[in-house]
Amino acid sequence: MIARGHGKIIFTASGLSIKGGITVPGYASAKGGIAQLTKALCNEWGSKGVNVNAIIPGYTATEMTSALQADTERYEAELVRIPAGRWGVPDDLKGAVVFLASAASDYVHGALYPVDGGWLVR
């Protein structure tokens, strides 16, 4: 990408990149690293035509979160913190990915782009 003078990198971070987490310190620290890597690579490669950004999915109904979804008490505790009133589904990320991969985001560099139903603002 640097040799070509253009490119788009879209990482997947997490709301736990920003807020930390409960019972998942390894996951939270790894995703925090992704957020900082996004910013660091933006600083290094932005002037070379490479956009580096990250999406921050909120709680999303997937196989990976099935145990959390099955824990009714914890599921409800997170649900009430989502202004949209529902957990996300994988298709909710499509718009952000298309935008960040397109020319419409050519001046978007180092963004941590939440797609979380508003979870980060609660």
- The residues that are catalytic are 27
Question: Largest Cα–Cα distance in the chain?
Answer: 51
Element at 60 (helix H, strand E): none
CA 97 to CA 100: how far, in whole Å?
5
Using the structure block, give the residue that is written with the tokens 């490479």.
50
